[in-house]
Structure 1
Amino acid sequence: MVIVTGFLGAGKTTFLRELLPLLSDCARRPYVILNDFLNAEIDSATLKGVVDEVHAISAGCVCCESSDALNRTLHAIRNEPPPIVFIEANGTTDPYPLIELVTLLPRHFQRFGPVLQVNIINEKRWQKRLLPWDRSLERAQAATASHILTNRSSAASLKQQLRLRTDLSKINPHAERVLSIPDFAKVIRALSQSAIPQPELNLSAPIGHAHHHVATRIELPALREEDLIRWLVSFPAHILRIKGAVRLINSEHEACFFQRTDDELERPTILKGKMPETTLPCAVFIGIKLDSQAIQQSLKELLAAPPPSAGEVNFTPTRLPALLSHHKQKISE
């Protein structure tokens, strides 16, 4: 069994999307369980072409609120052909209770074998989260990992790269640093062919997971790509992640999956393709004390705004400054 952790927007689904095709000749059948706020189907739909079986758990974290759903999903997995299970954990998952759940219950350990945890770290964003409990979660995910893979390294400053190496040497000096996704694919092949000793994971210091994050979802009409980007970049950074799927107007592609992280200097990611009929066009917002009405109003203003000039991305909904000040007030309370 492989647990994939990483803070919101670290690149966990992208990691799986690139890893799974490399396991097409693996001795065991990949099975993916994807957990995320409200609508895990958005990310799971992007994996449908690279793995035969994807199960989405659209609710709270599998470490607590959705632990029963995870148990049921693991129990329902067929033994033939022998599976190797990948659990992509919600970005705000506390890894301690999750690892305990899959290792301490004999029925899971006996069926799925040793547990590896690969932690995906956005090197540019390491420990730059707005809130202290976010930084604690990010460190906990790294501290319990058996393997660590960093990305966005070229975008990180030398100072930031040094800080990450120093921090990891202190909080988890025994983790194996994975240099590339093909290297980790070799680890998975070895896991599928022989028993690997279970990594020694430190479960003595749980961080006391509390759900400071909330999520809200809104349905989306068909949008022009340029309007979608203008809307996404208009939100303040305390909205940690926006992701979703939408049908595109005036595009050779029928739809796109999109996401935006809390890095204000990073443009939204747009992944164009066909949208499965079962996928509802929508946007999921993850943050603290979200104002759903303000978000809905910003969409209405976007649709009513005149078309942008060439290259223009600026768009400022009227209620978003109030949303940001509301957030700052809650943080100070």
Structure 2
Amino acid sequence: MQTANPAKHRIPVIVLSGFLGSGKTTLLNRLLAHAHLPAIIVNEFGSTPIDQQLLRTHNIPLSTLAGGCLCCQVQDVLTPLLKNLRMAWEAQPKKPFECIFIETSGVANPEPILDTLLRQRWLAARYRLEGMIATVSAVNGAEVLARFPEAQAQIAWADKIIITHSDRATETQMDGLLAQLARLAPAITPLQAVNGLIDPAEVMTFRHAERYRLQQTLSIPAHNFYSVSLQFDQPFAWERLQAMLETLLMAYPKQLLRLKGLVYTLNESDPLVVQGAVKTLFPPVRIPARVSDDGRSRLVFITDGELAELPTVIMEMLQSSQT
């Protein structure tokens, strides 16, 4: 009995996009629990990878691309990585993965990634673009889509649109978002994640992305996003740190787009994953510490435009909170 030639098998690829703080990693965790032998490529804009801490419990192949935006590094970073993954896959009799999720950074325009998967001959012969999912927050999605062309491109290129945080949004916020989505993606019916819950099977049902192209391409200007990464040796008193981060988000409502971090707190051995976006600090999630963890807290801040004073402001706020 002959088996299929592995060289002719095209591995499905699912691209997961969405602006900063829209819940991509939360959704990905849910999808991974129902996927058959997945692998993950995670792109984080900051130089300190945080999202991988939320994905590590799945014990599946994970590649992290930190310190830049994947859409600007497709040829230099993503293409070689996909080639190496494919050659490693073909070399192993027992296949380590059967599909790949690519989680883009929150500031990425997905067009170059999709175009590479569809048009680069070597990749297109070995990978099949299954579809693209975009997350958008009901709380600030209308404002984000009106302000950032990157967010508009994420919606315009999506096969599935997932509205997150709908349980926290007002009726006005939801109506504004739905109007924006109808303008940018009139053919797509959005799905809602209620209290973070959604049916993975419904999310993962695609029409084949290779059968169509968008007739219009959005023009995306050069990025103006910056990241600041800080590390701390001493654990924090969580209530004080929480108050400081909330104050910081409100002090820079337009410039401070995203914060995320892995934070060790007093009298606790397991760290907290801390996340915030556009004036909102989300409830923290405590995750198990690993033996390899060094016990340092790490915070990453992503800004619209350079905020040279931000590290100094943060340190001054931390010092004042200790007095």
Query: What TM-score, normalized by structure 1, do the two folds share?
Result: 0.79
What do you get for the CA RMSD once the two structures are aligned? 2.6
Paired position in structure 2 for 1:173: 186
How far is 1:149 from its partner? 0.8
Paired position in structure 2 for 1:146: 159
Q: Which one is further off, 283-292 or 147-156?
A: 283-292
Consecutive unaligned residues of structure 1, counting only runs of 5 or more, are 308-333
Q: Tell me, yes or no, if the aligned pair for 2:20 and 2:257 is still in contact at 8 Å.
A: yes
Query: 1: distance between equivalents of 2:299 and 2:38?
Result: 28
How far is 1:302 from its partner? 1.8
How far is 1:220 from its partner? 1.7
User: Structure 1 residues 297, 157: closer, same or farther in 2, change over 3 A?
Assistant: closer
- Alpha-carbon deviations, 1:232-290, whole Å to 9, x = none? 11212221111111221123x4211211111x2x3333111233425653111100344
| 1:250 and 2:262 matched | no
| 1:269 and 2:283 matched | yes
Paired position in structure 2 for 1:61: 69
Choose the corresponding residue for 1:109, options 124, 147, 160: 124
Q: Tell me, yes or no, if the aligned pair for 1:96 and 1:203 is still in contact at 8 Å.
A: no
Q: Which one is further off, 151-160 or 291-300?
A: 291-300
User: Structure 1 residues 197, 273: closer, same or farther in 2, change over 3 A?
Assistant: closer
Paired position in structure 2 for 1:299: 315
Query: What TM-score, normalized by structure 2, do the two folds share?
Result: 0.81
| 1:89 and 2:97 matched | no
Consecutive unaligned residues of structure 2, counting only runs of 5 or more, are 1-12, 90-94
User: Structure 1 residues 42, 199: closer, same or farther in 2, change over 3 A?
Assistant: farther
Choose the corresponding residue for 2:275, options 243, 259, 267: 259
User: Structure 1 residues 246, 166: closer, same or farther in 2, change over 3 A?
Assistant: closer
Q: Tell me, yes or no, if the aligned pair for 2:262 and 2:271 is still in contact at 8 Å.
A: yes
Q: Tell me, yes or no, if the aligned pair for 1:146 and 1:176 is still in contact at 8 Å.
A: no
The AA in structure 1 aligned to 2:126 is R
Paired position in structure 1 for 2:10: none
Paired position in structure 2 for 1:43: 51
| 1:20 and 2:32 matched | yes
How far is 1:92 from its partner? 0.8
Matched position secondary structure for 1:223: coil
- Alpha-carbon deviations, 1:100-142, whole Å to 9, x = none? 122111222222213311010101212313983x2x2222111
Query: 2: distance between equivalents of 1:59 and 1:67?
Result: 16
Query: 1: distance between equivalents of 2:72 and 2:128?
Result: 22
Q: Tell me, yes or no, if the aligned pair for 2:71 and 2:112 is still in contact at 8 Å.
A: yes
Paired position in structure 2 for 1:118: 133
Paired position in structure 2 for 1:2: 14
- Alpha-carbon deviations, 1:64-104, whole Å to 9, x = none? 13642111221122432452111111111112222112211
Q: Tell me, yes or no, if the aligned pair for 1:94 and 1:141 is still in contact at 8 Å.
A: yes
Matched position secondary structure for 1:116: strand
Query: 2: distance between equivalents of 1:178 and 1:131?
Result: 20
How far is 1:226 from its partner? 1.1
Query: 2: distance between equivalents of 1:121 and 1:10?
Result: 5
Matched position secondary structure for 1:248: coil
How far is 1:202 from its partner? 1.4
